[in-house]
Amino acid sequence: MQLTAKASLNHALLISICTPDFKGDEATESLAELARLVTTLGFKVVGTQSQKQSSTKKVNVLGLGKLAEIAHLTGNKGEVSVEVEEDDDLSEELVDETPFADIPSDNLPFACADVVVFDCDLSPSQLRNVENQLGVEVFDRTGIIIEIFSRHARTKTAKLQVEIARLNYVAPRLRESSCGDKERQMGKGAGETTLELNRRKVRDQLAELKRELVSVQDEMKGRRTQRAELFCVALVGYTNAGKSSLMRAITGSDVEGENKLFATLDTTVRALFPITQPRILVSDTVGFIKKLPHDLVASFHSTLAEAHDASLLLYVVDASDASFRAQLDVVHGVLEEVGVEDSKKLLILNKSDLLSSEQEQALMEEFPEAMMTSARNPADVSKLHQYIVGVAQDEMIEEEIIVPYTAKGIIGEIRASMSVTKEDYEFDHIKVTVRSNAIDLARLKKRMLSL
Ligand SMILES: Nc1nc2c(ncn2[C@@H]2O[C@H](COP(=O)(O)OP(=O)(O)OP(=O)(O)O)[C@@H](O)[C@H]2O)c(=O)[nH]1
Ligand SMILES: [Mg+2]
C-alpha cells in the first residue's frame, strides 16, 4: 500500500505522452521537470521516450508496439511480447527516444530501467495494466509528487496533510493481495474480502487523520490570530525558486534551502533581521508545481493561510529558468484557488547571479516593477530588507504621545514595540513621536488614559 520506491528500484525511464492539448515546449519542459522530481526522489533517470497520442486515456496508455519496445528496455519481465512489431494504433507516432540530454551519463546500458514514470496522470486500471505489461513498477506524475511530499513532510501538520493526500491517492489503487496474509484475514468482517478490509482500514485511517488535522489547525489559527497585529510578509512561488534561501537571508535564520523540489512543506515564520520596531514577520511557504495534485492543493490550504494573512506578498521566481513565466502563472492560479486576495505584492526575479547583464537588462525592461535579486548577494538582501521595512513603515501611522515623567516604564515599552522617530524632553513630560500600527497605538493611548 505504501507507494514507496524500493531502494533497488532506482533507474527510471520517463515517458511523455504528447496530445493535441499538451505538446511542443510545454511537454519538453514538463518532462525536464519530471526528471528533476524523479531525481529528488533519489532515482537515476536513464532515458526518456515521447509519443504522440490522441489522449492519455487508452487502456494501456501506449500502443502495444511501443509497450513492447519499452518492455525491452525494462528487461522483458512483463506480459507484453517483444516480438510485437506492428503497432496497434496507427495514429500514434514516435516523437523521440533519445536518452535525456541533461542526464549525466555514466555509461549505464539503456536497457536497465527498473522504474517507469509517466509524465501524466494514470487511472488505477491504466497503472495496473502497464505494470502487468512491463513487469516493473510504474508511477504517474501525481504518485511521484505525493511520494516527495511524504518524504519531505517534517511538521505534524504537513505530515497529516500529506498522509491524507497519499491515502486518497492510494485507496482506489489498492489491489487484492495474492498472498494469504493471516493477520489481515483475521480482522475481516463477515463476507468481506481482503481488498474490502484494506479499503475499510484506509477509510477509518482517513477519518482519524482528518479529525487530528482539524485540532492541529485550530491551534495554528490561534497562533496566527496572536500575530495578526504585526506586519506580515509571505514568500510565495514555484518550487526551487529560492524562497527559503531569501527567507534565511532576510531573517538571519537557519531555514533550510535545498536544491531539491519541495524542500519546504510547511510554513515557517521568522522575524525580519536586523530586527525592526515593531517586528515584521516573514513566512516561507510551500512551493508550487504544474499539475499539483488537487488533493495536495486542498490539503495545503491551511499552510497557505499565512499568505492569506500577509500584508505583502513576495512572488519569487527563478529568473534563470527559461520557463519562469509559465511557473508564475501556476503560482497565480494556485493562490487564486486557495483564495489569497491580492494584497500588496512584489515580483522578485531571483538567481540574478546566473544571468548575463544583457539578460538582466531585458528582464528589467519586461518587468519594470520587479526587484532583481540574488539570495547570494548581501547587497541585494539588504535592498530587499529595506524595501520590506519601507512598505511596513508606509502602512504605519505617525503620532505624538505625551508621556509624563511619572509614567514609569512606558517609555521603555514604547521603544521596544514601536518605531520612535523623535523624543523631546519638556518640563514634566517627554513628547515622543512614534510610528506604529493603528491597533498598537489605540492600545497605548488607552493605557495612558488609565495611568
Ligand atoms: N545561484 C543561485 N542559487 C540560488 C539562489 N537562491 C536560491 N538558490 C539555490 O536554489 C536552490 C533552491 O533554493 P530554495 O531556497 O530551497 O528554494 P525554495 O523556493 O524554498 O524551494 P521549495 O522549498 O522546494 O519550494 C538551492 O540550491 C539554493 O541554494 C540565488 O539567488 N542564486
Ligand atoms: Mg523552500
| Distance from C-alpha of 157 to C-alpha of 216, rounded to nearest angstrom | 7
pLDDT of residue 86: 44
Instruction: State pLDDT tens for residues 131-147.
Output: 999 999 999 999 998 88
Which atom number of ligand 1 is nearest to the Cα of residue 354? 1
pLDDT of residue 99: 44
Q: Tell me the CA–centroid distance for residue 3 and ligand 1, in Å.
A: 27
Grid cell digits, residue 387:
524595501
pLDDT of residue 265: 64
Q: Which DSSP string do the residues of 230-250 spell out, in sequence order?
A: SEEEEEEEBTTSSHHHHHHHH
| Distance from C-alpha of 6 to C-alpha of 136, rounded to nearest angstrom | 12
More confident residue, 152 or 9: 152
Nearest Cα residue to 85 out of 107, 70, 62, 69: 69
Q: Strand, helix or coil at 409?
A: coil
Q: Tell me the CA–centroid distance for residue 33 and ligand 2, in Å.
A: 17
With pLDDT > 70 as the criterion, what percentage of the chain qualifies?
80
Average pLDDT over residues 74-95: 56
pLDDT of residue 171: 85
Q: Tell me the CA–centroid distance for residue 56 and ligand 1, in Å.
A: 33
Q: Whose CA is nearest to atom 21 of ligand 1?
A: 240
Q: Tell me the CA–centroid distance for residue 291 and ligand 1, in Å.
A: 21
Identify each DSSP E strand in 285-396 by its residue range: 312-318, 344-350, 371-372
Q: What is the average pLDDT score of the chain?
A: 82
Residue 2 has pLDDT above 90, yes or no: no
pLDDT of residue 43: 92
Residue 125's φ and ψ, nearest 5 degrees, are -75, -35
pLDDT of residue 307: 76
Residue 315 has pLDDT above 50, yes or no: yes
Q: Could you tell me if the CB of 164 is within 6 A of ligand 1?
A: no
More confident residue, 400 or 189: 400
Instruction: State pLDDT tens for residues 348-366.
Output: 999 999 999 999 999 999 9
Any idea which residue has 506524475 for its cell?
Answer: 141
pLDDT of residue 290: 79
Q: Whose CA is nearest to atom 32 of ligand 1?
A: 351
Is residue 14 a contact partner of residue 117, using CB atoms and an 8 Å limit? Answer: yes
Q: Whose CA is nearest to atom 1 of ligand 1?
A: 351
pLDDT of residue 400: 92
Q: Tell me the CA–centroid distance for residue 333 and ligand 2, in Å.
A: 19
| Distance from C-alpha of 315 to C-alpha of 238, rounded to nearest angstrom | 9
Q: Could you tell me if the CB of 148 is within 6 A of ligand 1?
A: no
Which atom number of ligand 1 is nearest to the Cα of residue 352? 31
Ligand nearest to the CA of 316: 1
| Distance from C-alpha of 107 to C-alpha of 113, rounded to nearest angstrom | 13
Cα distances (angstroms) measured from residue 309 to each of 77, 188, 283, 303, 393: 53, 47, 10, 11, 18
Instruction: State pLDDT tens for residues 418-440.
Output: 889 999 999 989 999 998 888 78
Grid cell digits, residue 284:
516561507
Mutation test residue for ligand 1: of 155, 245, 377, the one with most atoms within 8 Å of CB? 245
Residue 340 has pLDDT above 60, yes or no: yes
Number of H helices, E strands in the chain: 15, 14
Cα distances (angstroms) measured from residue 321 to each of 248, 355, 433: 21, 10, 47
Q: Could you tell me if the CB of 72 is within 6 A of ligand 1?
A: no
Q: Tell me the CA–centroid distance for residue 363 and ligand 1, in Å.
A: 19
Task: Kindly report the pTM of this predicted structure.
Answer: 0.78
Which atom number of ligand 1 is nearest to the Cα of residue 373? 31
| Distance from C-alpha of 313 to C-alpha of 367, rounded to nearest angstrom | 16
Residue 110 has pLDDT above 60, yes or no: no
* Cβ atoms < 10 Å from Cβ of 349: 24
Instruction: State pLDDT tens for residues 218-258.
Output: 877 776 666 667 888 999 999 999 999 999 999 987 666 66
Q: Tell me the CA–centroid distance for residue 260 and ligand 1, in Å.
A: 8
